[in-house]
Structure 1
Amino acid sequence: MSEKNKNSVHKKFFILVALALTTASGFAQGNGMAGINDATSMVTGYFDPITKLIYAIGAVLGLVGGVKVYSKFQSGDPDTSKTAASWFGGCIFLIVTATILRSFFL
């Protein structure tokens, strides 16, 4: 193949690649915003059930912690207040985390 034919083939190839990239970017621009909006609506749709699930987990942990603290209190353990603080702190953390995440993203 001569040098002139190689240059011609390379030029045609680069023109074809440039045309393909231009066309592909034109198609991507039209669907990009719709895709972002769809993803946003899908993610925000999950926040209500997840928030309720976190509240339910916090309630169950509160009940389990209450039973554990009551059993320690009845048995006369000296570290009852430390156990109560840790269980109560865990429940408060879950509730505050769910509320803050909801306020940030909705």
Structure 2
Amino acid sequence: MTKKIFLFAALILAASSAFAQGNGMAGITEATSMVTSYFDPVTKLIYAIGAVVGLIGGVKVYGKFSSGDPDTSKTAASWFGACIFLIVAATILRSFFL
């Protein structure tokens, strides 16, 4: 009797998991389209952040240059590198995921 109950329970579980898989592919496709729809606004946001960082860096480098600080080239290189990194990272992530 316990074997029959165990077999019946196993069949019910197998049938319910088969019914549950029917809509899984549609859910994955919908999630993929939702995630990829965010890439254009996020890429534009990262470009805007890079522009603001570049402006702030330009003002800071100008301030150091005007005051005669000998460390101006190092500061300019670090700010410029940060802007280039933001632009390249946004472009590579977009091309990698799309």
Tell me whether the two structures share a fold, i.e. TM-score over 0.5: yes
Q: Deviation of residue 74 (structure 1)?
A: 0.3
Partner residue of 1:66?
58
Name the aligned partner's letter for residue 63 of structure 1.
L
- Which residue of 78, 88, 94 maps to 1:96? 88
Q: Which runs of 5+ in 2 are unaligned?
A: none
Distance of 1:20 and 1:80 partners within structure 2: 73
Partner residue of 1:18?
10
Aligned residues: 98
Q: Deviation of residue 22 (structure 1)?
A: 1.4
What SS class does the counterpart of residue 74 from structure 1 fall into?
helix
Distance of 2:44 and 2:16 partners within structure 1: 42
Q: Which runs of 5+ in 1 are unaligned?
A: 1-7
Q: Deviation of residue 77 (structure 1)?
A: 0.3
Q: Where do 1:9-48 residues align within 5 Å? A: 10-48=2-40
Q: Which TM-score applies when normalising by structure 1?
A: 0.87
Q: 1:41-83: per-residue Cα shift (whole Å, max 9, x none)? A: 0110111111111111100000000000000000000000000
Work out which of the two has the higher radius of gyration on C-alpha atoms and give 1 or 2.
1
Distance of 2:58 and 2:5 partners within structure 1: 73
Post-superposition, which runs of at least 4 consecutive aligned residues in structure 1 deviate over 6 A? none
| % identical aligned pairs | 79
**Alignment RMSD (CA, Å):** 1.0
